[in-house]
Structure 1
Amino acid sequence: MRDWTPDQVAEAAGARLVEPGDRTSGPTRAVIDSRQAGSGDLFVGLPGERVDGGRFADAVLGAGAWGVLVGEGWGGVEDPTDGGGAVLVAQDPLAALQRLATAWRRELGAQVIGVTGSTGKTSTKDLLAAMVDQQRRVIATPLNLNTEIGLPLTVLSAPAGTEVLVLEMAMRGAGQIAELAAIAEPDVGIVVNVGPVHLELLGSVEAIAAAKAELLDGLKPGGTAIVPAGEPLLEGHRTRDDVSWVTFGPGGDVDALPEGLEITAGGDRLSAHMRANALAALAAARAIGVEPTGRLEVALSELRGQRVDVGRGIVVIDDCYNANPMSMRAALDDLAASEVDPPARRVAVLGDMLELGPGERRFHEEIGAHARVVGVDLLVTVGPLAEAMGPAFGGEVRAVATAADAVALLPGLLQDGDTVLVKGSRGVGLEVVAQGLTA
């Protein structure tokens, strides 16, 4: 947006420019946290449950920000006598932010790849960004900026000359991915998988599949839809004949990584479920004309399965960003496949899986049984729901109520050489467990 004038920024956002200040060019990015707003930034004052961000507009302008985009009630923040930052006013600042992102996406002319799925969308995004980065200038979703607020902020952070945008798309209900697709106008869409996530809100895996398929419905004509081979939940959504359909995984169009492509994550070879995600990423890379080659080291986003050697031969698998039955099974499979020399115990610290609806106890019992089947030696459950894993596991179990309790318990339980998986839903806060073990 740097080459735009304040008038062009306002027009793109569908806002009124009530004060151009002394700005003759546009901002470099948009932010919603007033503490992050520096020179060159457009601060968007979003109304919140407790505080309307517009109240910070005056301070942001005083600190030298490029300008502010605020709601109608904050249009008086400008001071025409001292110049300074621009002031844009919109009835709905969030909608204005989203319109601005769509306008910048079109101005960039970049190819846009949307990534969604019940689990693995972040690692797929990381893999895809690394593949594309070999040949093209790429910007990918950082951290968890994958919502109706985060996605436009990601788009607006892309500098001129960006050739590919890899955008993660999250949802908790119907219609939310459709909203993100309308903002991003994706050329390629990946549905990594469909599983029992947010059942409490959506009610069935069929409804979850429909919500994920909104990305496929939102593709630009001539685009590419990438889906798991043989996924029956998505068959009814393969209705468009104006896009190309590509499947990945066993029996799919992309079923193996090519010779000469060696991918590692954090220095380790890809786990089984990461290899599946890599096939989805490869299909998307090929859809935009990129064929990755050679050695590719992928930097995974935080709390998504990083392996950390904490001493005494103990390795912590920090996968505590979130959890659902599908991702929990995959993580346990990877724990079981961990190669340790000499062989040592496999320890699973598993927290509650939230938002699973009426069947939540059954899902937790099934995870306990799966932990037994794959050979976990010690299970530590965290939270009242996770406690149901214990009887189904049937082996050595410790049950605690909170993450803080687990932090206190684990040092006395672990032995030299243990491999320790830490995983649970975000609301359980198991990051303190991983941090405590890696400190």
Structure 2
Amino acid sequence: MHGWSPEQVAEAAGARLVAVPAPDAAGRPVAGPLRAVIDSRAVVPGDLFAGLPGDNVDGGRFAAAVLEAGAWGVLVGPDHVEAAAAAAARPAGGAGVVLAADDPLLALQRLATAWRRALGCRVIGVTGSVGKTTTKDVLAAMIASAGVSVVANEKNLNTEIGLPLTVLRAPAGTEVLVLEMGMRGAGQIAELATIAEPDVGIITALGPVHLEQLGTMEAIAAEKAALVAALPAGRGVAVLPTAEPLLEPHLRTDLTTVSFGAEHGDVTPADLHGLGLDDQALHVRIDACAALAAARAVGAEPVGPVALTLSEMRGQRLHLDGDVTVIEDCYNANPLSMRAALDDLAATATGRRVAVLGDMRELGTDEHAHHEQVGAYARAAGVELLVAVGPLSAAYDGEHAVPDAAAAAALVPGLLVAGDTVLVKASRGVGLEAVTGALRDAEAAKLRGT
């Protein structure tokens, strides 16, 4: 893309070149796109717009408008080629490239793979049932601290759409790509690995996530291990949690395998000394062990202190008036991550331990038992006040049970006292950040004297 001709872009994407503007004044083809976007509202001059069909809207219908807005070009399905070509030919606007593909998403993915190869960089894939985004964030910060040019997914752009968009925004000269790989069903990790062609693969942890789709823990392990299967023989590096029996059938003798863990493994929290991560929660430091192993695998030894900024709603601490601390960790939840967050609450709270815990979703037929077990774990961790949010969370057996996040947001501010540390955690669909928002609003109202 970056400096590629329209013909090169079309060939890389496996698309047909339907329309192309005249060469510029210097006789060169128009330069290739600086980035690819799928939201027509976000297009700026120079972008390649991929008009992807969706459940509610087919993005290809906006192709003419984005050409008139200055897009470098559009990638559309057959139904939108005629309108896009007409817009590209209009003297008053357009004058962009039109690429056609029967499957625009597949073409976008092929384009990303071609650019990944053109970059010639090292690629690190990150997957797992919990800790993917934190590991990705820590890893990118570590690599940057070593003076190495790195690009990583923004937020949670870790899907079959988000991952290629991440690759395509990497500038020429990028030395390492860190690509988080999410999963919503069988075969998706293999699909993402095919696009990314990773050199290093991290599996952060295995837990009972997506049991509704995959059925068993063995199936979950096999899905995550598709990342290991995609690594190149002889030079690939697999970074895996210590003593995880479910991964043993998927180990490869033609790879270098590096283990990490809280106490045992090739990399442990003791190896993080000097990187400025000592005050992070234990589960973050374990994720950092995986990140350190991967950084070393690509020759990027981090230099501390590492400038780490975690993605939002993944354990950030909010300090409120009245000596109340809120741990906002409500981007997602499963039994494994719930236990880790409760351990952190137990280890760091100096006053009363409060937990606002919502439903954990996609746990399959044993969902009630999983919620019961987390409730018991919370009590063992010293939680003194537990607010359960949602129909499944009733099994936590909390002091308070409410139907949804809105009800929790109305209840929780009135329950807290000075010195409390409050963990707020649930699956993403619960929307439990509403509780944190209500606490912020309550503090702001106090400050205004209302």
TM-score norm. by structure 1 comes to 0.95
Map Cα deviations across residues 52-106 of structure 1 (whole Å, 9 max, x no partner). 1100111111111111100011111123242621111000000000000000000
- Quote the residue 1:169 is aligned against: 181
Partners of 2:133 and 2:346 in 1: CA distance: 22
Partner of 1:235: 248
SS in 2 for 1:307: strand
**Alignment match of 2:298 (pick from 288, 292, 299):** 288
Contact 1:316–1:438 (Cα < 8 Å) also in 2: no
CA distance in 1, matches of 2:247, 2:439: 40
Q: Quick one: distance in 2 between partners of 1:106 and 1:437? A: 48
Aligned equivalent of 2:31: 25
Q: What's the CA shift for 1:433?
A: 1.5
Indicate the residue corresponding to 2:227 in structure 1.
Answer: 215
**Where does residue 447 of structure 2 map in the other structure?**
none
Alpha-carbon separation, structure 2, partners of 1:65 and 1:414:
52
Contact kept in structure 2, 1:54 and 1:70, CA below 8 Å: yes
Unpaired stretches in structure 1, ≥5 consecutive residues: none
User: Secondary structure of the equivalent of 1:337?
Assistant: helix
Give the deviation of 1:260 after TM superposition. Answer: 4.7
2:58 corresponds to which of 52, 61, 76: 52
1:345 aligns to 2:352 (yes or no)? yes
Other-structure match for 1:383: 390
Aligned mates of 2:428, 2:373 — CA distance in 1: 20
Q: Residue 381 of structure 2 corresponds to which residue in structure 1?
A: 374
User: Structure 2 counterpart of 1:299, which letter?
Assistant: T
1:36 corresponds to which residue? 42
Contact 2:186 2:213 in 1 (8 A): no
Equivalent residue number for residue 7 of structure 1: 7
Could you list the per-position Cα deviations for residues 299-354 of structure 1 after superposition, in whole angstroms to 9, with x for gaps in the alignment?
000111111112211111111001000001100110111143xxx11110000000
Residue 190 of structure 1 aligns with which residue? 202
Q: Distance in 2 between the 1:384 and 1:114 partners? A: 36
TM norm structure 2: 0.93
AA paired with 1:168? E
**Is the alpha carbon distance of 1:256 and 1:411 closer, same or farther for their aligned partners in structure 2, counting shifts above 3 Å?**
closer
Aligned to 1:312, what secondary structure does the other structure show?
A: coil
Matches within 5 A, 1:150-165: 150-165=162-177
Residue 325 (structure 1) aligned to one of 314, 327, 335: 335
Is it true that 1:246 corresponds to 2:258 in the alignment?
A: yes
Query: Residues of 2 paired with 1:428 and 1:69: CA distance?
Result: 36
> Is 1:142 aligned to 2:122, yes or no?
no
Separation in structure 2 between the aligned mates of residue 187 and residue 118 of structure 1, nearest angstrom: 21
The amino acid of 2:249's aligned partner reads G
**Shift of residue 174 of structure 1?**
1.7
Distance verdict in 2 for CA 1:194–1:260, change over 3 Å: closer
Q: Match for residue 427 of structure 1?
A: 429
* SS of the residue 2:271 aligns to: coil
Q: Which residue of 2 aligns with 1:68?
A: 74
Q: How many residues align structurally? A: 427
- Point out the structure with the larger strand share: 1
Tell me how far apart the structure 2 counterparts of residues 164 and 248 of structure 1 sit (CA, whole Å): 21
Q: State the identity %.
A: 63
SS in 2 for 1:189: strand
Q: Alignment partner for residue 318 of structure 2, among 298, 308, 311?
A: 308
Distance 1:229 1:139 in 2: 28
CA distance in 2, matches of 1:16, 1:256: 52
In the alignment, what sits opposite 1:106? 117
